[in-house]
């Protein structure tokens, strides 16, 4: 069983920025770019199941990490965020016709949801009742390195900007640290994009000395380090797990080619309509064959 999970917020930010710098394109061009990117990932990996994960919380609750650090992600521009995400409902509607569900967090974030998805399908694949004998494989599409903490012999992260798949074999070569030290380094150095301050003076040299056991943290440094570890480690929160697993249990692997074409026309996605046979081959042909044979 091969699962392909797409970090929706990560992808929409990337395509919006690119589309915004192209002249004379339709107002929904970044929607097309998003969907076309998904199509390329599906063609690349030929997964059994595709899931798109978002940061939005339909059943809204405050971000739990703000309880640890009030300024967590406080460097983000909310107005720019609204602009980037103003067509997300359109994207999700289109994804649904392709048989790709959108899954959301409750109190945490997309990264945490992806971990829960990974754990749930890995566990499912190991039960004697599961219908497929295929080995579990999970590919995560994102440029967010936080998700590299999930990498194992079953899980890899594909960076679509660098066009490299980070896996257990090349982890240290690509990221400069071992898998077991990855989260420790994140906690020591912080994360500018999430507004998490690191420990003062902990550059590459001092980090390596700490990992080797040659540096002892002060009490204040240890408090920051432990807080940061909790901030950067993906959650095992029971309530969050239940919320995500309930969504997974409601997934229906159904595609709708006619609705896909209708929405493409309604949203003026002419690039799709010009090549609709390619989209049919990638997303609908397999389901149609199953339907005809059943």
pLDDT tens over the chain, length 294 residues:
899 999 999 999 999 999 989 988 889 999 999 999 999 999 999 999 999 999 999 888 889 999 999 999 988 888 888 899 999 999 999 999 999 999 999 999 999 999 999 999 998 877 755 555 568 899 999 999 999 999 999 999 999 999 999 999 999 999 999 999 999 999 999 999 999 999 999 999 999 999 999 999 999 999 999 999 999 999 999 999 999 999 999 998 899 999 999 999 999 999 999 999 999 999 998 765 444 444
Please tell me the CATH superfamily of domain 2-177+236-293, with its number.
5'-nuclease (3.40.50.1010)
- Strand runs labelled E in the chain: 2-7, 49-53, 102-103, 137-141, 155-159, 164-166, 190-191, 196-197
Distance in angstroms (rounded) separating the CA atoms of residues 18 and 16: 5
- Strand runs labelled E in 24-103: 49-53, 102-103
Task: At 246, list the tokens.
Answer: 């309930």
Between the alpha carbon of residue 48 and those of residues 20, 163, 199, the distances in Å are 33, 22, 43
Q: Which H helix or E strand runs over 249? A: helix 238-249
């Amino acid at each position: 069983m091969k699962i392909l999970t797409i970090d929706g917020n990560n992808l929409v930010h990337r395509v919006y920025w690119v589309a915004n710098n192209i002249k004379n394109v339709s107002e929904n061009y970044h929607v097309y770019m998003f969907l076309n990117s998904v199509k390329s990932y599906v063609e690349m990996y030929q997964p059994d199941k595709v899931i798109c994960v978002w940061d939005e919380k339909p059943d809204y609750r405050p971000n739990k990490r703000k309880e640890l650090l009030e300024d967590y992600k406080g460097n983000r521009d909310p107005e720019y965020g609204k602009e980037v995400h103003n067509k997300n409902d359109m994207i999700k509607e289109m994804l649904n016709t392709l048989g790709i569900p959108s899954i959301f967090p409750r109190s945490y974030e997309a990264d945490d949801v992806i971990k829960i998805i990974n754990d749930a399908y890995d566990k499912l694949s190991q039960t004697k009742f599961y219908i497929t004998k295929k080995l579990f494989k999970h590919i995560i599409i994102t440029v967010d390195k936080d998700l590299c903490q999930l990498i194992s012999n079953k899980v890899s992260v594909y960076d679509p900007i660098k066009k490299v798949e980070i896996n257990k074999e090349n982890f240290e070569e690509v990221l400069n640290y071992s898998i077991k030290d990855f989260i420790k380094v994140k906690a020591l150095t912080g994360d500018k994009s999430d507004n998490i301050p690191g420990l003062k003076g902990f550059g590459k040299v001092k980090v390596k000395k700490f990992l080797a056991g040659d540096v002892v943290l002060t009490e204040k440094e240890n408090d920051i380090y432990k807080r940061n570890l909790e901030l950067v480690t993906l959650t095992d929160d029971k309530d969050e797990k239940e919320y995500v697993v309930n969504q997974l249990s409601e997934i229906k692997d159904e595609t709708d080619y006619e609705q896909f074409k209708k929405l493409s026309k309604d949203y003026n996605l002419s690039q799709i309509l010009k090549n609709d046979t390619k989209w049919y081959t990638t997303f609908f042909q397999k389901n149609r064959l199953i339907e005809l044979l059943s």
